[in-house]
Amino acid sequence: MNFETVAFLLFVAIFFVLLTGYPVALILGGLSVLAGIIFVPDFLDFLPLRIMGTIQNYVLLAVPLFVFMGLTLEKSGIAEELLRSMGVMFGKMRGGLALSVVIIGTLLAASTGIVGATVIAMGLISLPIMIKKGYSVPLATGIIVSSGTLGQIIPPSVILVLLGSVLNVPVGDLFKAALVPGLLLVLAYIIYIIAFAFVYPDKAPALPDDEIKAFRSDNFYTKLLKSFLFPMVLIIAVLGVIFSGMASPTEAAAVGAMGALILTFLQKKLSWTLLKNVSVETTHLTSMVFLILIGATTFSLVFRGLGGDRILVEMIEGQNLSPNQFLLLVMIVVFVAGFFIDFIEIIFIIVPIVAPIFAKFQMDPLWIGILLALNLQTSFLTPPFGFALFYLKGVAPPEVKTTDIYRGVVPFILIQILILSLVILLPGLLFYK
The more confidently predicted of residues 197 and 221 is: 197
Dihedral of the CA atoms 119, 366, 351, 385 (nearest 10)? 20
Residues 6+ apart with CB under 8 A from 258: none
Note the pLDDT of residue 384: 67
Note the pLDDT of residue 190: 93
Residues 6+ apart with CB under 8 A from 69: 111, 112, 234, 238, 253, 256, 257, 259, 260
- Cα gap 80→268, rounded to integer Å: 15
Rounded to an integer, the average pLDDT of 119-131 is: 76
| Residue 208 DSSP label | P
- Cα gap 348→356, rounded to integer Å: 14
Burial of 330 per CB tally in 10 Å (0-12, 13-18, 19+): buried
Confidence band (pLDDT; 50, 70, 90) for 369? Answer: very high
Rounded to an integer, the average pLDDT of 223-246 is: 75
pLDDT(266) > 80: yes
Q: Where are the beta strands (DSSP E) in 309-427?
A: none
pLDDT(188) > 80: yes
Confidence band (pLDDT; 50, 70, 90) for 361? Answer: confident
Least confident of 79-93, 161-175, 357-371: 79-93
Note the pLDDT of residue 193: 92
pLDDT in tens, 61-71: 877 887 788 77
285 neighbors 117 (Cβ within 8 angstroms): no
Least confident of 167-171, 178-182, 298-302, 388-392: 388-392
Given its phi and psi angles, is residue 134 left (phi above 0), alpha (psi -120 to 50 degrees) or beta? left
Decide: pTM greater than 0.85.
no
Residues 6+ apart with CB under 8 A from 79: 73, 104, 108, 112, 118, 121, 231
